[in-house]
Structure 1
Amino acid sequence: MFKSQLSHKTDLEESDRTHGARMSPGQASLLQALFSLEHPPSDVLDKGRSQSRITTALALNTPLEALQCTLYSEPVLDHGLESNSLPFVLYSYSAWMNRMLFDPARVMSQTRNYVIRHYYESEASRRLVVLIANILKSIAANPNTDPGYVHKASALLQLIHRSLSRIASRPLNPSREVDAREATKGLYHTIELMSATRFAPLQVPLELLRTAAPVFRRALSGPLDERVHLATALLHLEPNIRHYPVVDVVYSMVSGLPTNIKYDTSWCSGNINYAALLDDSSHLGMSWLIGLPDQLVVILARINVLSQEDGGDADIEMHEIEENLQQLTTRIEEHSCLPECSSDPRAAVPKAWCMVAYIYFYLSVCGVDASDPRVIHAQQTIMEIIQTSEPSLRLDTHLSGCILFAGIVTSRSDERHLIITRLTNLPESALSDNCFVTGILALQDLWARVDTENRPAEWSDYRLAAMRIAKVG
């Protein structure tokens, strides 16, 4: 299911290794907190007040190294020894968090409690956690250099697939509360598994999302045939439940396929304003994962629905979407005290995601092409972020999806060259068949078509490229 080729390290990766070998005080502090085992966690995740939301975090002038855990030097640990097993697991998680998470410091304590809870839950759970740790360690370093990565990732995929399938086929428990609790357990570790699927063919995460969909629905309250209120799901205490709709919406954008779950994307339900709750400082959310603000997930889902369904109130919806996007973009810019040319992901990535939403909205819903001034503005904003930032493994990992989307409406050869250069410098591009490479090939297929026909790109061009290259749709 996973394909891998051994390859050389990219320039980006080698550069980041060179500059990241020595830990800063902030990095050492984060590592020490992860390894602190003097006070075992309770059986539930820490539900205390979380760190600030994304717009609040943008206002902090905290040095970037204090927000990450950059560990490239191998610790002297024989993780085959039982006494070293848990430290190895925590090391592997911390290394993976820095490589793949947008803001790892925000979920440091929650991750520590999550890992230790599952490590001590049972012998089977401990073996699973150790397997995951081995996979995460490979992802942090570069899966291309680990000959055993494919075997380990495939084993984890099969284990979680079987668990999800078993729960999905199980008769409903008379107690809805008990059934939801069991379904929630089935979603454990799907965040880590979805991280691994970045290095797998596109069909792997798409199939995983399809398999997990009925389990996700059973984990939430309400009749199973009702739409899932998206904002409520994003406020759930369990991170694997919050995670599912985020990747469901993003992969729907990328593949052009409908989401696996039908979502209610309204902001208000009864007397509750969910937009305010999602932006509240006590809500941890999922923006720490890829830098995609929770409010923007709801907006993207609304765009998705409008692009695939005809509705009588489409004009009203379109106006509300545009207004919501303008408000969110303004809020992100106002709260950022960082220089516009900064390569700090805290400033660049959320803004770039907003520009992606504009491009997605204008192309897929409004039906314009790449020559529309609004599309050009969004594309140029992303290009400015790329051009004014130094290539960085950390930044480009989180910007890559935005760069790909900007490429859909990019016509200048110099900008196309810059896009391909930044993307192919990432370790993921060294694999012959994975989600990342599929996106690059689809982009090049689209460029070839619109250049041959001498016209601006349209949304249908991307859909056709996705079907041809990724064989979806």
Structure 2
Amino acid sequence: MFVIRRKKCDEGKPQCQRCSKSRISCSYEYVKCPETVTHLIQRTKPAPRPFSELESSVGASRSRNIPTTLGLAVTSLPVSPTFGSFRKSTLPAAYQGSNLTPLFSETDGTLATSLVPSLLDPFLCQTDQSHASLDIFDSATGIFSRVDTHNYDLGIEVLLPEGSLAEDIATQDFEGIQPLFCIVPTMDRNIKENTLSFVLQCYSQWAILFVFEPLRIVHALREDIITYFSSEATRSRTILIANFMRMLSSNPSVNSTGMPIVTYLASEVREEIQTFMATPPPSAPIVDRQNAMRILNNTLEVMTLQINACSMAACIESMDDIAPVFRRACSEPLDRPLNLTNILMGPNLNLRHFVSLDIMGSVTNGRPTYFKYEVAYSAELYNRMSQLQEDHGLQWLHGLPEQFIMIFAWINSLHETPGANVDIELVTRIEMEINQVEVILGPSGDPALKIGRTAVHECWRMALLIYLYMVLCEADASDCRVVRTMKSFMRVVNRTKPGRIPDTYLANPMIIAGVAACKDRDRNIIRQRMLSVPECSTPGTSGHDAVRMLEDIWMRTRSQERAAVWVDLRIACLNVTDTLLPSKTMSLPTPGSVRPSIMPSLAHTSPTVGIDSPDSMPPTPMPLPANAPPLQQVQARIRLVVQTLTELGVCSMDVQPASANPELPAGLVGARVDQLVEHLGELEKLSSKLDMNVPLDVFRDIDQNKNPNNITKNLIDDTAAENQWINGRLHAIESYRDMLGEALREHFPALQPHLPPPPGTNGKLDAVVEEEEGMIMDS
């Protein structure tokens, strides 16, 4: 029996867009409401108008658009369980007289709101001012208004391959999320009493497409939405978020219709952050933490919507904004590192969420983390995290278990410890811990989804191993361990069918694997799988910037004829985002709690001064203490030289005419040159303390812009083998000499004074020499 799905005409004028795309003829009648019925609206809409027609009518409204400044790293964010207050008193002056009536938009079936009339008119709605407010529990005041909508069409169309992510929600809900989340079949959304049902439907559609395991949180999220939708203070905010989520469900690429909503929410959150940071903290620490937690909650909620709308530079700026608020929300003293175990295993979702973003942002774009984390990974901790994984983890959101996040932070911490990268036993232990992590999947009624989620977990495991070798062991992409792990990664990717699951959640591990990819075939597969995700194929988004970063690495390593190293990811991030790191200021009360950046002199600036200000120049990072071994001091000083050279290159590309001032006449470039000269002078002083021979081949490779690691390893291996062979020859001669001396003493006693003394009992060996083959044969 075949079932044919019939889609109704979208009633567009002058022609139906859905029927035109399907290449079928359409015929419909306008739906007219009786005059006695006041709770229905006429369900017709205009078709997209050309850009030239809207140019004149839109010009005045464009100037009022508020630029968004909040963003998100290349990972999805959860909707916070607690909605913040959406206070009308904080609206700009142009919005103070506006009502809070939610409006139904016929363009895409979403709820608009007259809360932001100058932003959404003429893009979204033209409000009927005869209605005052919304209360879905009081039919006397819950009246819908007529909305005349114009689609702002720039003629840009994103083409996705067959079987991509632009499919109907009904065909994506394999686990039955919508029946658990809202009423099925969906009630008529044109009726005012069905507003809550419409909002729940929007959230359910978002969860199906943007949550890794929605079954784990469907019931809790539904209860939270109902609770906060019932409040007058948070209802308008919930309606705006529901509007945007429905737009994402129909088209993950944000267009001009959805951007004003995100822009307004982002501006509100940023204003709230600025007000909070400008206010002196109260005397009671617990009150300050509660206030910081509220701000953090509101910000992460809006950041959930930013992923499809903002570039990576805006995402970095958003994290810079919220980082000091997060620090004030933590209970640790400001001069102590943060206990990562307590945060990840604690009950607060927002703290765990920010930590995950901080660590994963460091992993996927080469930036340092915002804070120092105290990491103590052990078998006991692993067992505790496994037991709490289902209740406290964020695996349901982006598919990355907390155990992997902890190991990523562990590797970052060890990378800062001198000598840790040469500890073979430690590296072997980390490998064993990574391979022993058991990921627990939530319940799923669809076997294909379970296979895809398992593939995501295994790709994260392979990416974590690559990160271990390239960061802690400082290996390049041609290292045999990296090559072996890369083959395993690509084997999993190639044997997994493309689709929203797993491709959406493979974007982050593919960034790590992309750095290690040396073959053009592997690079093409990674490029195609990432671009098949709408979030990565739309220019101007953080996902698309991630693809550009990989292209930058591949082009640079190909032109230089070398294998990629991990620092290439950092350089690519600078090239793509075109921002200094961090791009914004983190004014924490105590800078000791903030981890020194790879670019320390650019990492701690004041919010009231520019980057060229002397106040934004923290002291030069100190090398190892004087009593440290000379070799470790040389290694630490060389790292400072490399770091200073990186800063010098970045500053030279961003020199501004106003950078010179009386206190810093040479600007940032001159300061970096002075630091470089200082580091080179210290290296010259350390040369007298260290007596080591470096092969000339190493210098020759460096002069030719080649990585000397491979040749150095080959030279060491060849030299060790040759030394072993010579040592065997010498040992054979010594053994023969001892045997000859013993025979002479026995048969010619008179020669005993002229013979060397006999060897001791421990040094006597019974061996014969076979000169032809150069081997020692035990007798």
When you count helix as a share of all residues, which structure comes out higher? 1
The Cα of 1:375 is off from its aligned counterpart by 0.9
Distance in 2 between residues matched to 1:85 and 1:162, nearest whole Å: 29
- Note if 1:142 corresponds to 2:251: yes
> CA-to-partner distance for each residue in 1:360-410, whole Å, 9 max, x for gaps?
221122111111121112222221121001110231001111122211111
**Count of aligned pairs:** 426
Distance in 1 between residues matched to 2:333 and 2:530, nearest whole Å: 43
What is the aligned counterpart of 1:198 among 307, 313, 318? 307
The Cα of 1:256 is off from its aligned counterpart by 1.9
Distance in 1 between residues matched to 2:242 and 2:548, nearest whole Å: 31
The Cα of 1:189 is off from its aligned counterpart by 4.4
Report the equivalent of 2:198: 88
Aligned CA distance change for structure 1 residues 360 and 107 (closer, same or farther; 3 Å)? same
Report the equivalent of 2:513: 406
Report the equivalent of 1:329: 435
What is the aligned counterpart of 2:400 among 292, 302, 306? 292
Report the equivalent of 2:294: 185
Q: Answer whether contact 1:409 1:457 (CA < 8 A) is retained.
A: yes
Report the equivalent of 1:427: 534
Report the equivalent of 1:40: none
Distance in 2 between residues matched to 1:97 and 1:334, nearest whole Å: 20
Distance in 2 between residues matched to 1:336 and 1:382, nearest whole Å: 23
The Cα of 1:310 is off from its aligned counterpart by 4.0
The Cα of 1:465 is off from its aligned counterpart by 1.6
The Cα of 1:250 is off from its aligned counterpart by 0.9
Distance in 2 between residues matched to 1:170 and 1:404, nearest whole Å: 40
Pairing of 1:195-344 with structure 2 (within 5 A): 195-199=304-308, 200-267=310-377, 273-281=380-388, 283-307=391-415, 309-311=416-418, 319-320=425-426, 322-332=428-438, 344=451
Distance in 2 between residues matched to 1:453 and 1:85, nearest whole Å: 59
Distance in 2 between residues matched to 1:249 and 1:333, nearest whole Å: 19
Report the equivalent of 2:457: 350
> CA-to-partner distance for each residue in 1:53-74, whole Å, 9 max, x for gaps?
xxxxxxxxxxxxxxxxxx9x99
Q: Answer whether contact 1:144 1:431 (CA < 8 A) is retained.
A: yes
Choose between structure 1 and 2 for higher RCO, CA contacts under 8 A separated by at least 6 residues.
1
What is the aligned counterpart of 1:21 among 159, 166, 171? 171
Distance in 1 between residues matched to 2:358 and 2:440, nearest whole Å: 30
Aligned CA distance change for structure 1 residues 439 and 127 (closer, same or farther; 3 Å)? same
Distance in 2 between residues matched to 1:355 and 1:113, nearest whole Å: 37
Letter of the structure 2 residue corresponding to residue 431 of structure 1: T
Distance in 2 between residues matched to 1:337 and 1:125, nearest whole Å: 32
> CA-to-partner distance for each residue in 1:10-68, whole Å, 9 max, x for gaps?
225656626943855x41xx3233237xxxxxxxxxxxxxxxxxxxxxxxxxxxxxxxx
Letter of the structure 2 residue corresponding to residue 259 of structure 1: T
The Cα of 1:246 is off from its aligned counterpart by 0.4
User: Secondary structure of 2:217's partner?
Assistant: helix
Report the equivalent of 1:7: 157
| More displaced stretch, 346-355 vs 193-202 | 193-202
Report the equivalent of 1:418: 525
Aligned CA distance change for structure 1 residues 356 and 12 (closer, same or farther; 3 Å)? farther
What is the aligned counterpart of 2:229 among 108, 112, 119? 119
Distance in 1 between residues matched to 2:320 and 2:304, nearest whole Å: 16
Pairing of 1:388-403 with structure 2 (within 5 A): 388-403=495-510
What is the aligned counterpart of 2:178 among 25, 31, 36? 31
Aligned CA distance change for structure 1 residues 76 and 406 (closer, same or farther; 3 Å)? farther
User: Secondary structure of 1:349's partner?
Assistant: helix
Distance in 2 between residues matched to 1:145 and 1:209, nearest whole Å: 21
Distance in 2 between residues matched to 1:337 and 1:431, nearest whole Å: 33
The Cα of 1:92 is off from its aligned counterpart by 1.6
Distance in 1 between residues matched to 2:172 and 2:465, nearest whole Å: 40
The Cα of 1:168 is off from its aligned counterpart by 3.0
Q: Answer whether contact 1:12 1:393 (CA < 8 A) is retained.
A: no
Letter of the structure 2 residue corresponding to residue 116 of structure 1: I
The Cα of 1:460 is off from its aligned counterpart by 2.3
Letter of the structure 2 residue corresponding to residue 355 of structure 1: M
Larger radius of gyration: 2
What is the aligned counterpart of 1:133 among 223, 242, 253? 242
Distance in 2 between residues matched to 1:22 and 1:300, nearest whole Å: 32
Distance in 1 between residues matched to 2:225 and 2:572, nearest whole Å: 40
Report the equivalent of 2:605: none
User: Secondary structure of 1:248's partner?
Assistant: helix
Distance in 1 between residues matched to 2:234 and 2:441, nearest whole Å: 42
Q: Equivalent pairs: percent with the same residue?
A: 25
> CA-to-partner distance for each residue in 1:414-472, whole Å, 9 max, x for gaps?
22221111111111234221211111111111111111222211112222222112224
Uncovered stretches (5+) of structure 2, i.e. residues with no partner: 1-66, 70-152, 582-779
Aligned CA distance change for structure 1 residues 189 and 390 (closer, same or farther; 3 Å)? farther
Report the equivalent of 2:210: 100
Aligned CA distance change for structure 1 residues 224 and 380 (closer, same or farther; 3 Å)? same
User: Secondary structure of 2:336's partner?
Assistant: coil
The Cα of 1:195 is off from its aligned counterpart by 3.3
User: Secondary structure of 1:21's partner?
Assistant: helix
Q: Answer whether contact 2:475 2:565 (CA < 8 A) is retained.
A: yes
Q: Answer whether contact 2:421 2:472 (CA < 8 A) is retained.
A: no
Distance in 2 between residues matched to 1:192 and 1:9, nearest whole Å: 30
Distance in 2 between residues matched to 1:224 and 1:34, nearest whole Å: 42
Q: Answer whether contact 2:452 2:496 (CA < 8 A) is retained.
A: no
User: Secondary structure of 2:563's partner?
Assistant: coil
Aligned CA distance change for structure 1 residues 175 and 267 (closer, same or farther; 3 Å)? farther
- Note if 1:466 corresponds to 2:569: no
Report the equivalent of 1:175: 284
Letter of the structure 2 residue corresponding to residue 391 of structure 1: P
Give TM-score, length-normalised by structure 2: 0.50
User: Secondary structure of 1:188's partner?
Assistant: helix
Letter of the structure 2 residue corresponding to residue 300 of structure 1: F
Report the equivalent of 1:359: 466
Distance in 2 between residues matched to 1:290 and 1:22, nearest whole Å: 17
The Cα of 1:87 is off from its aligned counterpart by 1.9
Give TM-score, length-normalised by structure 1: 0.81
The Cα of 1:273 is off from its aligned counterpart by 4.6
The Cα of 1:293 is off from its aligned counterpart by 0.8
Distance in 1 between residues matched to 2:363 and 2:329, nearest whole Å: 24
Distance in 1 between residues matched to 2:484 and 2:179, nearest whole Å: 44
User: Secondary structure of 1:171's partner?
Assistant: coil
Letter of the structure 2 residue corresponding to residue 203 of structure 1: A
Report the equivalent of 1:54: none
The Cα of 1:300 is off from its aligned counterpart by 0.9
